[in-house]
Structure 1
């Protein structure tokens, strides 16, 4: 028996009411982060009849199939991929900028130049006490600026390590939450409101996770997700309701190593990869800074050993230490500078050994090496900044493309409110007409 007019109208009213509810939900969550616009899925409802032929039009109204999330899995994957690359570049640039500030603002280059300048001034009168004291003071200042630069690099390294550990903790928290969402998804009814909310939560967690580490995903029944670190062949972070343990270790040079359940893993994208790249650059810059400090120590102390001081005694080392962190001026006064050649008498005005020291410093060129170090850091910052800006643009474009599809357009939703309200009223009017018809039929005598 075919469906009656009342049944058809009531099914239309139910569908319109469901659409109105979903539209209201879209509007109320328009500014909610991670919310994906919903729409109602409807299907034709046929009324079976024995007498119906296969080609006969035999409709029974409309059936609500469920709530549909308007999200494109490919676009979501692109947002995660491009976002991970942008996060890596941004973290690396921030780390490099901190390294640049640590080395440049401590004034090591200026201290080297000032120390060499004080030795040049001492040539004019090797026995002048004030010039000797100035040279010693400039040497002490040079040692201290090396110490400060090394300490500043330590502070940058400690900051990156702290941020990286926070990122690792965040990864473990997110993967644990994803495992819980997977368990709930496996028990949720298909296309239900609860399932769509869980899918929103799942996608939001995946996007947050991709900001920390690059990931690959695969989706199973009911939207349950499996997450791998890096490529799809990488170690598994989440499988069903189980989350692996992600951990990091710090090498002797300050760079990071990562493991998943104890197995070594390599990061290519995400902010953790960017921080590790910055730490790799920091380790190289620290080595260069130590080499420059060691160069100053060896050149000055070697020249000292070849001459005699103002009192006629064999020259003693001016500096001690093995690098930028522990270089120290150990001379007690200006008379310790060995300006005269070996065998010269006390208070000698001979400056041949001082000339040899200046020649050795000119040949070693610590100021030039420091300038090259500063240039390398600045060039790295400039180059990585260009890369970061380009990746940010790509990531923004991917996010805009997803937002255009999955985001809530209030103008569009306002139109839907009117449309579905009219559909609901029209269904109600059909029911009223059906009731009037039946009343008219029943009143026939």
Structure 2
């Protein structure tokens, strides 16, 4: 080959080097751009008889500097970072809401019990009673306001889930289109580096929305999977995701595949992990649901226990107390996939504050029986018998199931989910606040002994039909027999002494024991001391209880009583635990986010060490290729001079 051709090949190679270097410099700050380099080789030598002489050079390829292992490491760090960031942004809202010293629940709950205590201290005061109603309304309003804020957060999560799914579909379509284009352009062996960079950047952006797994396909295409292996892109085909209300809970948006015919197939939440979408779903299913249920548990427990005690009191009109707060009904949602012919209906009413949990429940019909599954730990309780003769109480909730079910019917029961929203005050008239006790006791001055009778109390049995006292009961002590007589006919009598309880049939004289607790028909009292023969004691209805506040004191005492969680926590203690749990989760997410940020920085540095553009290095390459270009041009100039000399020899 002539010297001119050799110079020309060097000139062209240097020109490609200059172009590639210039391209690196101008794209140094473009996200996703990978550094490119010229791979230059010599052309085959030519045998001249005196030996092999080189024929020049050529550019075999323009190489893209890219390490798939480092890229996958970076994607893993970024998807974890996006997930934690999304989780933290949401949970910090709940943390701020619950822990606010002025807008939180603790101050208004303290005000409520202060109002109860003030009313109990002045039971005849209309102003104190009205103040108690006002603080009750404020408490209910605070519960409702906090529930509304949590629902706003939930709706915001649903909106972001829908938005994220739309972005995922957009990225998936673009990746599928690039797969098709890259496959067509790669048939000759050369790779379109810029398109490869663009596709990788799309995958990086997609990975921040949901965790992706990338598998190399045929002819330089990529298969992209999400979560735990669900396909998003296969070759030039993009799968379409969609959202719809969850079949068992319309308050949540579920994610699934949308077929070409429009059919929606939901995916389990557990398969969608990582990225912004994974963080949102994890937040919704753990922190948000937990906060809503636990806040509702406090509301439902407060309403149920306060109602139970209020019903054992007597109002200013002499009537037994009614419900102070309206009863709390469980949130029940029949599964959208239940058989159309099913007429089954499930209702749940909170009746026991101590046994109530913050868990959700799944009620399923297996064709013969209904089974109630506690979702927090999987414990199953069967509704027995079915059909029911009366509601069955499970974990403090009375289940009432009616209608004709079909096999595989399913109902989601959330006993405390809507309790904070539904907490309302039933009593509107201050005179109907039951601060007095419905019974009173007494002993005549004429008694000869030293015995005293305690103030009577009542329990839930007093509310049973026929048990409420309508007239005084007079008990007479027989010293010779050592017994008390005169108890109501038809009612057994219990005597509890030293922790041992003995039941005496109706009409049987009851042995007297100093200080023992005596009970009948839901009424309890004790007689202490030494009664004289013929001494009498009366137990009867409270006919002048305007100034009585015995039940008011018991209502106020609920504040410090361990009512919740099987008698282990007060209302304010349980709420403090909710605040603590949410605060700990928020702090964990923040720490995890900071660690994820550091991991992304480290992974980015490792990835950029291979794919990133170093401007100092490119400046040196620019100078190197410039000199090579000038040298090749000099070779061509010499070849031209030699050619001209040869031509002049022939003139």
TM bracket, shorter-chain basis:
over 0.9
Alignment of 1:388-427 (within 5 A): 388-427=593-632
2:277 equivalent among 248, 269, 272 = 272
Q: 1:297 to 1:99 in 2, by over 3 A?
A: same
2-structure distance, mates of 1:88, 1:263? 21
Moved more, 259-268 or 273-282: 259-268
2-structure distance, mates of 1:103, 1:191? 61
Alignment of 1:117-136 (within 5 A): 117-136=114-133
1:173 equivalent among 159, 170, 176 = 170
Superposition deviation, residue 192 in structure 1 = 5.2
Q: Equivalent residue for 2:205?
A: 208
Alignment of 1:53-68 (within 5 A): 57-68=52-63
Q: Equivalent residue for 2:4?
A: 6
Superposition deviation, residue 397 in structure 1 = 1.1
Corresponding position: 1:350 with 2:548: yes
Q: Structure 1 regions of 5+ residues with no counterpart?
A: none
2:41 equivalent among 35, 40, 43 = 43
Cα offsets for 1:196-216 (capped at 9, x unmatched): 121011101110111111111
Superposition deviation, residue 389 in structure 1 = 1.2
Indicate the SS of the match to 1:319: coil
Higher strand residue share:
2
Equivalent pair of 1:304/1:316 in contact (CA under 8 Å)? yes
Cα offsets for 1:203-240 (capped at 9, x unmatched): 01110111111111122354311112235xx2221111
Superposition deviation, residue 146 in structure 1 = 0.6
Equivalent pair of 1:36/1:71 in contact (CA under 8 Å)? yes
2:65 equivalent among 45, 67, 70 = 70
Equivalent pair of 1:245/1:260 in contact (CA under 8 Å)? yes
Higher helix residue share:
1
Q: Equivalent residue for 1:359?
A: 557
2-structure distance, mates of 1:10, 1:64? 13
Alignment of 1:314-329 (within 5 A): 314-322=320-328, 323-329=419-425
Corresponding position: 1:295 with 2:280: no
Q: 1:247 to 1:133 in 2, by over 3 A?
A: same
| Structure number with bigger Rg | 2
Indicate the SS of the match to 1:325: helix
Equivalent pair of 1:235/1:260 in contact (CA under 8 Å)? no
1-structure distance, mates of 2:429, 2:605? 68
Equivalent pair of 1:17/1:424 in contact (CA under 8 Å)? yes
Indicate the SS of the match to 1:424: helix
Which structure is richer in relative contact order (CA contacts within 8 A, separation 6 or more)?
Answer: 1
2-structure distance, mates of 1:126, 1:110? 24
Equivalent pair of 1:255/1:276 in contact (CA under 8 Å)? no
2-structure distance, mates of 1:126, 1:145? 26
Corresponding position: 1:146 with 2:351: no
Equivalent pair of 1:228/1:235 in contact (CA under 8 Å)? yes
Superposition deviation, residue 337 in structure 1 = 1.8
Superposition deviation, residue 22 in structure 1 = 1.5
Superposition deviation, residue 255 in structure 1 = 5.4
RMSD: 2.1
Q: 1:353 to 1:13 in 2, by over 3 A?
A: same
Matched positions, count = 437
Superposition deviation, residue 333 in structure 1 = 3.6
Q: 1:222 to 1:64 in 2, by over 3 A?
A: farther
TM-score, length of structure 1 as denominator length: 0.92
Equivalent pair of 2:304/2:327 in contact (CA under 8 Å)? no
Equivalent pair of 1:87/1:270 in contact (CA under 8 Å)? yes
2:78 equivalent among 55, 80, 83 = 83
Q: Structure 2 regions of 5+ residues with no counterpart?
A: 259-264, 329-418, 439-540, 564-569
Moved more, 43-52 or 137-146: 43-52
Superposition deviation, residue 347 in structure 1 = 6.0
